[in-house]
Amino acid sequence: MAKKKIVVVGAGFAGVSATRLLAKNLKNDAEITVIDKHDFQTSMTQLHEVAASRVEPDAVQYQLERTIGKFHNVNVVKDSLVELDKSGKKVITEKGSYDYDYLVVSMGGEPNDFGVPGVKEYGFTLWSLEDALKIEAHLKEMVQAAAKESDSEKRKKLLTFSVAGSGFTGIEMAGELIDWRKKVSKKYGIPESEFTINIVEMMPTIMNILDRSLADKALTYLQNKNINVLVNHGITAVAEDHITVNVGGRDEEKVVKEIPGNTLIWTTGVQGNTEAEACQLSETERGHHLQANEYMEAIGNENKGIYVAGDVSGYIVPENGRPTPQIVEAA
């Protein structure tokens, strides 16, 4: 029997895990080609640690040749999906094309700026190792500049760090900044009291995916560490040296305010990968996630050997009618 050709696009938590299972179970019955932009898997869950210089970049990279390339039936390719020829069953990449009998699309998600102007130009997202390294370099630049700045207004802007969003990623990032502040304050001789760290959240409460009592514990902790938790603050624009916010609860009249500062780390939302969406594999919902059925087949392309997995996908859990969360366990 001819070996089945399986192509996996995206070697994150979902792609690597699918490849491991398929490689072990199918042995000589399949040839698996794994295509990723990088030759390593990024441990996304530690990106904030790299951004705040606590962990070295190579500690969050797992070389794919060592993790899945070791299987005799797996071939790892560093390349990028460009388009999909569904009728010809081919993945077209920047460097070539790959035939498949079965395809797994596991290209992850991407940050969602919800159309807020200036996020792309002046904000920092935290969604790849490159993003984390950019934040790390920027934080260093701000503190070094502040150490030399005598104008108090400019110095305050340099030492103000805002994190947009109070989901896990935002709170983890703010938590890292607490430790980072202590370290750099000593190193550059700037009192910790000169640093301003803001968490900017549109909702009236933070960490809304958690049980309220746990979220309130986190709030108390952050406040005790001198973090400004700004709830009911919806960011409407981002500029190089300030953000504009609409302040006020749902039924209140909103007041427009500017928060000065040269650093905004944007962690407010995740959407499915828009490059994957462009392949028109299945219907997507508001968050651009490719809809999957209970076998993780792309809805709209069932029985064609096309599967979607991880953050790129949206499987609605029948028990609660909600999509699977964008977390490692689900991926």
**Residues that bind ligand FAD in the complex, under the rule CB under 6 A:** 9-15, 35-38, 41, 44-45, 47-48, 80-81, 106-108, 126-127, 168-169, 172, 273, 275, 310-312, 326-329, 331
Supply the minimum distance, in Å, between the C-beta of residue 82 and ligand FAD: 8
Q: Which residue is nearest to ligand FAD (CB)?
A: 12
What is residue 29's DSSP assignment?
Answer: G
Tell me, rounded to whole angstroms, the distance of Cα 113 from its chain centroid.
12
CB closer to ligand FAD, 12 vs 118:
12
CB closer to ligand FAD, 242 vs 314:
314
Encoded tokens for 40 = 């390593």
Supply the minimum distance, in Å, between the C-beta of residue 293 and ligand FAD: 18
User: Radius of gyration over alpha carbons of the chain, in Å?
Assistant: 22
Residue 290: in which H helix or E strand, if any? strand 290-292
CB closer to ligand FAD, 262 vs 268:
268
Quickly count: other Cβ atoms within 10 Å of residue 163's Cβ.
Answer: 29
CB closer to ligand FAD, 72 vs 95:
95
Supply the minimum distance, in Å, between the C-beta of residue 30 and ligand FAD: 20
Q: Is 193 exposed, middle or buried (0-12, 13-18, 19+ CB in 10 A)?
A: exposed
Supply the minimum distance, in Å, between the C-beta of residue 62 and ligand FAD: 10
Supply the minimum distance, in Å, between the C-beta of residue 153 and ligand FAD: 32
Supply the minimum distance, in Å, between the C-beta of residue 100 and ligand FAD: 14
Supply the minimum distance, in Å, between the C-beta of residue 266 and ligand FAD: 11
Cβ-count burial 230-239 (b if 16+ within 10 Å, e if not): bbbbbbebbe
CB closer to ligand FAD, 214 vs 256:
214
CB closer to ligand FAD, 109 vs 157:
109
Q: Which residues contact 186 (CB under 8 A, 6 or more apart)?
A: none
CB closer to ligand FAD, 37 vs 54:
37
CA distance 283 to 291: 6
CA distance 17 to 10: 11
- Terminal CA-to-CA distance of the chain, rounded, Å? 32
